[in-house]
Amino acid sequence: MSVETRKSYCRFCHAYCAIEVEVEDGRVRKVRGDRSDPVYGGYTCIKGRQLPEVANHPERLRASLRRKPGGGFEEISSVRALDEIAAKLREIKNAHGPRAIASYCGTHSFQNSVQLAFARAWHTGLGSPSFYTSVTIDQPAKFVAMARHGLWSGGAHSFESADVVLVVGNNPVVSMFSPYGGLSTFNPSKALRDAQKRGCRVIVIDPRRSEVAKRADLHLAVKPGEDPTLLAGITRVILSEELHDADFCAAHVNGLDALRAAVEPFTPDYVEARSGIPAEQMQDAARLFARGPRGGVSCGTGPNMAPHSNVTEHFVLALGTICGRVNRAGEPVPNPGILTPLPRRAQAIPPFPGYGAGARSRVRGLGELNVAGVPEMPTAALADEILTPGEGQVRALFVMGGNPVVAWPNQPKVLRALEALELLVCVDIRLSATARLADFVIAPKLSLEREDVTLLTDSWYSAPYSHYTKAVAQPGFDALEEWEVYWELATRLGTPVRLPGGEVPLDERPSKLEVLKLQLPTPRVPLEQLRAQEGGQLCAEVAPRVEAAKPGNDARLDVAPAPVCDELRAIRAEAFSTTGAGYGADADAFRYRLISRRLRHVYNSSGQYLSAIRREGTTNPAYMNPEDLRELGVRDGELIEIESAHGRLPAVAEASDDLRRGVISMAHAFGGAPSEDTRVREIGAATNRLVDDESDWDPVTGMARQSAIPVNVRRRRGADAPRPPF
Ligand SMILES: Nc1nc2c(c(=O)[nH]1)N[C@H]1C(S)=C(S)[C@@H](COP(=O)(O)OP(=O)(O)OC[C@H]3O[C@@H](n4cnc5c(=O)[nH]c(N)nc54)[C@H](O)[C@@H]3O)O[C@H]1N2
Ligand SMILES: Nc1nc2c(c(=O)[nH]1)N[C@H]1C(S)=C(S)[C@@H](COP(=O)(O)OP(=O)(O)OC[C@H]3O[C@@H](n4cnc5c(=O)[nH]c(N)nc54)[C@H](O)[C@@H]3O)O[C@H]1N2
Ligand code: SF4
Ligand SMILES: [Mo]
């Protein structure tokens, strides 16, 4: 028996905490935080600490599976599975063309540092634009907003230097996610405490008194989906009181007068009536934010899943811009990026084409979205791409570390689509709700069994930090990495895989380091050097400063793009209700709004089966204001039925003072198909059954309304809470 302690990083979620792993004969025994790490300082959460159970769980797939003709699965070697999959792909490609072959890369694809680039390159080599990821059902509006507004090459102010942050529908204390100018993604709770100690003020906009709102200086409990109105009101206060950075705007910004005109109708009275935020509180927030002098704005999933997300994300960028919250020439670059260095200059990158070019969806007039330079098709339309006959119909789908049955909008349609496929291949560690429908399930290596580098977070660190880990454990059976599945298929189909540094060799399977070097050809520090050290490291020699603008550069940011001004006019023309708990024009038909949220102990559908996590709760409760529950005659813990215009869902009610009346807060990606509804207390329920992807979607991104969903609630028959056993 040999026990050793190895350093690595956790990839249960995207926060990549540095850990020490006790390994016995190649198997993971225990995980704890690495207290010597310069960024994480030993932080871990309940999810990461379960990595040993993830690896050793009886339900973990220890072989790849093939569906048997009569139903059920049988074990199959990965070589045989890939031969059969390749044969089917060849047949589909020859009969219907390459577009019929699609991939959906879910959240776990982001945790393998080469998977996304490899999958995209495989699709390009195959000639198929049918490349989808979870980004387009997450926060695609961010990329639309950047394309319309442009970006500041020198980057936004870091959280560490901020005097104020505005946090819009984002709860980093739980989610470990706070992009561009928000809180820290790494040990955010401590980062928040440190920031507040040095005087940083925090403003939170959220219908729920979220974990971060509880610690904020100012919490604006906005009505769900009314962020565009509230942010327009805040912008109006800043501009009308001349609190903006006029010099920065004169030098670098287009559209200031047009923005003034566009927000003019969002008077404090109007904003109060519509968003539920008292005029004075809104004005306080605007003044506090504008005072700065340094600071940032972050926006999370809530407002991105609500209507008019492109407008909300535009304000997130525009508020920073009009207040001049950017790094100037000579300032240190707070997040230089070790693996993907970008030139940083004190100048604007003007608006750029981010959508509307490239492949078109066959449904709803949608098309590719440029996600950080990579074209992707909109996931919200993928079920229809499978179900709609005709040229380009998707017939084969790879689901790579994702769970469409519970994560995509319109669950009944998703189920029909997955069943209609000629070939469904899942790469998953277990038989998820989706993998159970697959023709083949490929057993992957787990994170600690893989070599990886912190690529996803490379430009999120506010220090020149990187962590390259070798594999610290072994699966001990026939398992592949996600990208290796594509590599194997490329060799069988003879299709090239080109990465930025050159073509991937197809004669012999390259090592992970070789693939990383092709993918990241110009790192600031050679990958071999990063690989040579165990644990995360600060690269002190990397200390770039923002360079002066290129002489003659006259690029400008646009704070009032025409589509945003048009959409603001349309928002201002919408009807809304000012009475009771109801919101919006349909307040009489639907009394409640169901909003999205994350739970600390799970990662979407990942982890729900683990023993320590199940002790935290097995369902995704429907959190509601106690007054609302009283009015409905529902007691804490009883079953309710939630109904939207689109579908019905059972749920377990839980009283919460953190919610304003008329709001239900519920996590997604729980439960299974409708046939499993009776197990709602044990496995939860999939909120996506309530989501309508056909009449309520964004015309640019295709995002369905996954938050601020109009619903009604009633007590479910036979709904009594289980009696305590005494
Ligand atoms: N209504 C509603 N819908 C939503 C959202 C919402 O808030 N409300 N949120 C949206 C968002 S932000 C997202 S990102 C998507 C999430 O959408 P998905 O990514 O499709 O869903 P997950 O549940 O994260 O799926 C992760 C899968 O990866 C598997 N997995 C875990 N570890 C590994 C591994 O090591 N290797 C491999 N290959 N697989 C592994 C898990 O078993 C699980 O099946 O859902 C979106 N849908
Ligand atoms: N523990 C844990 N961590 C996770 C995940 C998880 O499932 N569990 N999921 C991961 C994923 S895939 C992602 S994308 C990130 C997301 O990270 P975040 O965006 O921070 O996600 P949430 O924690 O759901 O925070 C969103 C907030 O938006 C609020 N909200 C809902 N609707 C509205 C609205 O209309 N307006 C406003 N202003 N607020 C609204 C909710 O109340 C909630 O507090 O988290 C990641 N991290
Ligand atoms: S926050 Fe938790 S799950 Fe995420 S990387 Fe850190 S320990 Fe792992
Ligand atoms: Mo996400």
Using the CB atoms, write b or e for 51-76: b if 16+ within 10 Å: bbbbbeeeebbebbbbbeeeeebeeb
Whether residue 724 has pLDDT greater than 80 = no
Per-residue model confidence (pLDDT) at position 332 = 94
In this chain, the answer to whether the domains covering 64-136+368-538 and 156-326 adopt an identical fold is no
Ligand 2 centre distance from Cα of residue 201 (Å)? 21
The pair of three-digit structure tokens given for residue 620, joined into one six-digit string: 């995704």
Is residue 169 within 6 Å of ligand 2 at its C-beta? yes
The Cα 291–Cα 270 span in angstroms is 24
Is residue 112 within 6 Å of ligand 1 at its C-beta? no
The residue nearest atom 29 of ligand 1, judged by CA position, is: 401
Please say whether the beta carbons of 471 and 449 come within 8 A: yes
Whether residue 649 has pLDDT greater than 50 = yes
CA distances, 332 to each of 220, 349, 464, 515 (Å): 33, 19, 11, 32
**pTM higher than the cut 0.95:** yes
The pair of three-digit structure tokens given for residue 390, joined into one six-digit string: 């005709």
Pocket test for ligand 1, best of 137, 382, 450, 456 (most atoms within 8 A of CB): 137
Confidence tier at 360 by pLDDT (50, 70, 90):
very high
Which ligand gives the minimal distance to the CA of 302? 2
Whether residue 725 has pLDDT greater than 80 = no
* Mean pLDDT to the nearest integer, 483-493: 98
Task: Write out pLDDT tens, residues 580-634.
Answer: 445 555 666 899 999 999 999 999 999 999 999 999 999 999 999 999 999 999 9
CA distances, 476 to each of 55, 63, 116, 444 (Å): 11, 11, 26, 12
Task: Write out pLDDT tens, residues 508-518.
Answer: 999 999 999 99
Q: Which atom of ligand 1 is nearest to the CA of 691?
A: 1
Q: Which range scores top for mean pLDDT: 103-112, 535-544, 710-719?
A: 103-112
Ligand 1 centre distance from Cα of residue 616 (Å)? 20
Confidence tier at 281 by pLDDT (50, 70, 90):
very high
* Mean pLDDT to the nearest integer, 378-396: 97
The Cα 448–Cα 19 span in angstroms is 11
- State the first-to-last Cα distance of the chain, in angstroms, to the nearest integer: 47
Which ligand gives the minimal distance to the CA of 480? 1
**What are the domain boundaries of the chain?**
64-136+368-538, 156-326, 577-715
Q: What are phi and psi of 24, to 5 degrees?
A: -120, 120
Is residue 21 within 6 Å of ligand 3 at its C-beta? no
User: Of 407, 397, 398, which is closest to residue 603 (Cα–Cα)?
Assistant: 407
User: Of 405, 452, 449, 454, which is closest to residue 429 (Cα–Cα)?
Assistant: 449
Confidence tier at 32 by pLDDT (50, 70, 90):
very high
Q: Between the CA atoms of 202, 203, 204 and 209, what dihedral angle is there, to the nearest 10 degrees?
A: 80
- CATH classification of 64-136+368-538 is 3.40.50.300, yes or no? no
Is residue 12 within 6 Å of ligand 2 at its C-beta? no
* Mean pLDDT to the nearest integer, 345-350: 98
Is residue 227 within 6 Å of ligand 2 at its C-beta? yes
Is residue 31 within 6 Å of ligand 3 at its C-beta? no
Is residue 665 within 6 Å of ligand 2 at its C-beta? yes
Please say whether the beta carbons of 122 and 489 come within 8 A: yes
Please say whether the beta carbons of 651 and 636 come within 8 A: no
Using the CB atoms, write b or e for 363-373: b if 16+ within 10 Å: bbebbbbbbee
Which ligand gives the minimal distance to the CA of 595? 2
Q: Which atom of ligand 2 is nearest to the CA of 665?
A: 42
Task: Write out pLDDT tens, residues 315-346.
Answer: 999 999 999 999 999 999 988 899 998 889 99
Per-residue model confidence (pLDDT) at position 184 = 84
How do beta strands 396-400 and 101-105 pair? parallel
Give CATH for domain 156-326. Answer: 3.40.228.10
Is residue 45 within 6 Å of ligand 3 at its C-beta? yes
User: Of 189, 180, 192, which is closest to residue 217 (Cα–Cα)?
Assistant: 192
Per-residue model confidence (pLDDT) at position 723 = 46
User: To the nearest whole percent, how much of the chain has pLDDT over 70?
Assistant: 97
* Mean pLDDT to the nearest integer, 365-369: 95
User: Of 320, 343, 302, which is closest to residue 248 (Cα–Cα)?
Assistant: 320
The Cα 250–Cα 533 span in angstroms is 48
Ligand 3 centre distance from Cα of residue 521 (Å)? 29
The phi-psi region of residue 435 (left if phi > 0; otherwise alpha if psi is between -120 and 50; otherwise beta) is: alpha
Whether residue 682 has pLDDT greater than 90 = yes
Angle, alpha carbons 578-582-588 (nearest 5°): 100
Ligand 3 centre distance from Cα of residue 437 (Å)? 29
- For the chain, state the CA radius of gyration: 25
Instruction: Determine the length of the chain.
Output: 726
User: To the nearest whole percent, how much of the chain has pLDDT over 90?
Assistant: 91
Which ligand gives the minimal distance to the CA of 411? 1
Per-residue model confidence (pLDDT) at position 585 = 58
The Cα 647–Cα 688 span in angstroms is 9
Ligand 2 centre distance from Cα of residue 238 (Å)? 27
The residue nearest atom 4 of ligand 2, judged by CA position, is: 175
Q: What are phi and psi of 672, to 5 degrees?
A: -140, -145
Per-residue model confidence (pLDDT) at position 584 = 58
Per-residue model confidence (pLDDT) at position 583 = 56
The phi-psi region of residue 238 (left if phi > 0; otherwise alpha if psi is between -120 and 50; otherwise beta) is: alpha
Ligand 3 centre distance from Cα of residue 241 (Å)? 43
Is residue 44 within 6 Å of ligand 3 at its C-beta? yes
The residue nearest atom 8 of ligand 3, judged by CA position, is: 48
Task: Write out pLDDT tens, residues 254-268.
Answer: 999 999 999 999 999
How do beta strands 440-442 and 423-427 pair? parallel
Is residue 596 within 6 Å of ligand 2 at its C-beta? yes
Query: Computed from CA positions of residues 139, 143, 146, 149, in that sequence, does the dihedral angle turn out positive or negative?
Result: negative
Pocket test for ligand 1, best of 429, 442, 456, 649 (most atoms within 8 A of CB): 429
Ligand 3 centre distance from Cα of residue 33 (Å)? 10
Is residue 606 within 6 Å of ligand 3 at its C-beta? no
User: Of 403, 456, 492, 646, which is closest to residue 88 (Cα–Cα)?
Assistant: 492
Q: Between the CA atoms of 211, 215, 216 and 221, what dihedral angle is there, to the nearest 10 degrees?
A: 40
Whether residue 726 has pLDDT greater than 60 = no
Ligand 2 centre distance from Cα of residue 108 (Å)? 17
The Cα 161–Cα 202 span in angstroms is 13
Ligand 2 centre distance from Cα of residue 600 (Å)? 11
Ligand 4 centre distance from Cα of residue 719 (Å)? 32
Ligand 4 centre distance from Cα of residue 692 (Å)? 19
The Cα 426–Cα 421 span in angstroms is 13
Pocket test for ligand 3, best of 17, 49, 189, 452 (most atoms within 8 A of CB): 17
Which ligand gives the minimal distance to the CA of 33? 3
Mean per-residue pLDDT of the chain: 95
Q: Which atom of ligand 3 is nearest to the CA of 16?
A: 5
Is residue 12 within 6 Å of ligand 3 at its C-beta? yes
Is residue 184 within 6 Å of ligand 2 at its C-beta? no
Output the DSSP codes for 525-567: S-HHHHHHSSS-EE-TT---BPBPPPTT----EESS-HHHHHH
Whether residue 409 has pLDDT greater than 80 = yes
* Mean pLDDT to the nearest integer, 628-642: 96
Whether residue 1 has pLDDT greater than 70 = no
Give CATH for domain 577-715. Answer: 2.40.40.20
Give the environment of ion ligand 4: residues with CB less than 5 A: 138
Ligand 1 centre distance from Cα of residue 369 (Å)? 20
Per-residue model confidence (pLDDT) at position 35 = 97
The residue nearest atom 3 of ligand 2, judged by CA position, is: 175
Is residue 224 within 6 Å of ligand 2 at its C-beta? yes
Q: Which atom of ligand 1 is nearest to the CA of 432?
A: 44
Query: Computed from CA positions of residues 486, 491, 494, 495, in that sequence, does the dihedral angle turn out positive or negative?
Result: positive
